[in-house]
Amino acid sequence: MATETSSGEAAAKDEGRKPAGKRTSPALFVRQIIAELRKVIWPTRKELITYTTVCLVFVLVMIGIVAGLDWLLTKGIFWVFG
């Protein structure tokens, strides 16, 4: 549950972050990025190919639907307005 406080410090402690006034050094920032990237579960080659294929097929289907609707609407407009 989120609560408002008069100082940002109490809210920052609840969330495990630093108070708003202090900045993270660039070196610490990079270390944190690397630590987070180590937590990522990277897809296998087979999964990556599958995901890519599914995305491409979906995009092609959507292109077909939009192009078809565009063609139909164009024909309809020309039929109505000559």
**Contact 9/19 with Cβ under 8 angstroms?**
yes
Confidence at 82, pLDDT banded by 50, 70, 90: confident
Residue 47 or residue 12, greater confidence = 47
Predicted pLDDT at 75: 97
Query: Using the 8-state DSSP alphabet, how is residue 15 labeled?
Result: T
Predicted TM-score (pTM) of the model is 0.55
41-49 long-range contacts, CB within 8 A, separation 24+: none
Predicted pLDDT at 81: 92
Q: What is the mean pLDDT of the chain?
A: 86
Q: What is the pLDDT of residues 32-58, one digit of tens each?
A: 999 999 999 999 999 999 999 999 999
Distance CA 48, CA 54 (A): 10
Angle at 16 between CA 13 and CA 20, to 5 degrees: 65
